[in-house]
Chains A and B, each alone.
Chain A
Amino acid sequence: MTAAVLARTRYAPAALGGLSLVLFVILIELLIRVGAINRFIVPMPSDIIAAFPRVISEEHVLERFLLTAGEAFSASILVTIFGVAGGVLLHRYRLLRLATETWVAAVAAAPLVLMYPLYLVIFGRSALTIIMMGFSAGLAPIILKTLEGLSGTRRVLINVGRSFSLTRSQQFWKILFPAALPTIFVGLRLGLIFSLINIVGVEFLINFGGLGQLINELAERYDLPGTYAAICFVILVSICVFIILERLERWLTPAD
């Protein structure tokens, strides 16, 4: 079969992607077995797979996962409330928006996670530090996207509201907010992803909490297969969360 024929097959690219991954893993396994790669630096993929049940049962992965999920959930509630409220506030007061929108954009681009030692001092080495770090990371994108959504409401919709003599709050709840929802969802997805990344990262850095700490602990014990297995686990969990958020956004966004 030539490449052109392969390209026409629907599932061929995905199959190639999956196959390359499997071949890569097999290649690494072989290179380690023949001694081309030091097995004390890179553990054999078969050992990593074998470490999964051990890590899951002995390291209380479920509890750790729930702990991280709890922190992420608290941070997402906070970030949603404050982010959307902030966006609405900036939209409502034009002068405030003109004065601070560039600042919010600068904060969105700033490496806020580097402030984690400061948060450690203020909130202590506790879940609160992690939640607040997640909150800070996700806030600015949600504010900006809420503002963008509200400002992008089509003129004709606003005029419809006006022709029905809606009050200001009716205008907001019946016209502006529903029209802005798709953009707000984009902001929420971004904000929640930023929060999650920072939560796992800070857990690893301060050696406290759930999944991030698991990686740090296993690495400090020099349990190589365990460390790699834990990293794979965290990546798989992150990818699942990204896919769920993406689906959720698509499901909640009304089709045009």
Chain B
Amino acid sequence: MADTGRLTFPVARPLGLRLRPVTALRIMIIVAVLAGWEALAASGLLYRDVVPSLLAIAKALFQMLRDPAFYSHLATTAYEIGVAMLIGGLSGLAVGIVLGGSRFMARAYEAYLYYLGPCPKIIFFPIMIMWFGVGPGSKIAMGAISCFFPVALNAAGGMRQIDKVLIRVGKSFRANTWQMVTKIYLPAMRHPVINGVRLGLGVALIGTLLAETKLSNRGIGFLVIQAYSIFNMPQMYALLVILFVISIGANSLIGRIGGLDDIRRS
């Protein structure tokens, strides 16, 4: 990264007990945002409870984490996302390997995936309800469709980056297709695949939860939309905090397990 050299701040230099400027600024920003929030909550400028006090949100968060019903909803959502990731991830991986392994197939079909990938998937939800019913099936389908595209496109891209020497080594050992996939392709393309899984998890989470907010009677998405319909704002904020912590945590966890951080550093 080129430094323009126009502004140089003393960074990362601990001076005795004094805070590093970056940490100090971070703390200042957080404190300013929290204070601003609390002031807005107390001012009454917005409708009551649209911006509830931090204490109310913390209380709602605490109550929710103590409630066994919350964990049953969390388990439903986790189950749906887990199955969706399994179906969408595995089929995405298979399609990605086929497309990445053959130039002909890639030129024939990859454009469809490439352009369908970024389309808003939630619009397929009415179809999924008809196909798989109003229960967890339709939510799993939404998650699987969302997850399929990033995994397939990343796997296809990863296949094409594999060192040709490795493939020739496999062929010279007369490895069969299954051996080629498990011993050569997958280990050689693990980074792009893990990156695809990471992106896939993000969109599977969105697909499943949005479907839950649209039509369901279980899951975290249902809790969010229920909090909205009974106007329990502290609970809604608490749920959103939990969701963001889970999704950002899962994202960085997969990145770390897959060694993506190491690649970036090197």
Which residues on the A side are within 8 Å of B243 (C-beta)? 111, 114
The binding surface of chain B is classed by DSSP as helix
A17 sits at the interface (CB 8 A): yes
A118 sits at the interface (CB 8 A): yes
Contact between B108 and A242, CB atoms less than 8 A apart: no
- The complex places the Cα of A158 from the Cα of B6 at a distance, in Å, of 10
- B255 vs chain A, min Cβ distance (A): 10
Give the nearest-CB partner of B226 in chain A.
A117
Contact between A111 and B247, CB atoms less than 8 A apart: yes
Give the nearest-CB partner of B25 in chain A.
A99
B26 sits at the interface (CB 8 A): yes
The answer to whether A117 and B227 touch (CB under 8 A), given A96-B25, A109-B202, A155-B2, is: yes
Contact between A20 and B26, CB atoms less than 8 A apart: no
Interface size on B (CB < 8 Å)? 62
Q: Mark A158-171, 1 if CB is under 8 A from B, else 0.
A: 10000000001000
Contact between B118 and A193, CB atoms less than 8 A apart: yes
Within residues 52 to 66 of chain A, which ones have a CB less than 8 A from any CB in chain B?
none
B122 sits at the interface (CB 8 A): yes
Give the nearest-CB partner of A38 in chain B.
B130
Contact between A98 and B11, CB atoms less than 8 A apart: yes
Contact between A114 and B210, CB atoms less than 8 A apart: yes
- The complex places the Cα of A12 from the Cα of B107 at a distance, in Å, of 9
Contact between B126 and A215, CB atoms less than 8 A apart: yes
A36 sits at the interface (CB 8 A): no
Contact between B126 and A219, CB atoms less than 8 A apart: yes
Contact between B9 and A94, CB atoms less than 8 A apart: yes
- A209 vs chain B, min Cβ distance (A): 13
- The complex places the Cα of A116 from the Cα of B205 at a distance, in Å, of 15
Contact between A117 and B130, CB atoms less than 8 A apart: no
- The complex places the Cα of A45 from the Cα of B124 at a distance, in Å, of 16
Contact between B109 and A197, CB atoms less than 8 A apart: no
- A-B pairs, 3 with minimum CB distance: A219-B126, A13-B107, A117-B228
Residues of B within 8 A of A (CB): 1-9, 11, 21-22, 25-26, 29, 46, 50, 103-109, 111-112, 115-116, 118-120, 122-127, 129-131, 202, 205-206, 209-210, 213-214, 221, 224-225, 227-228, 231, 233, 236-237, 240, 243-244, 247-248, 251
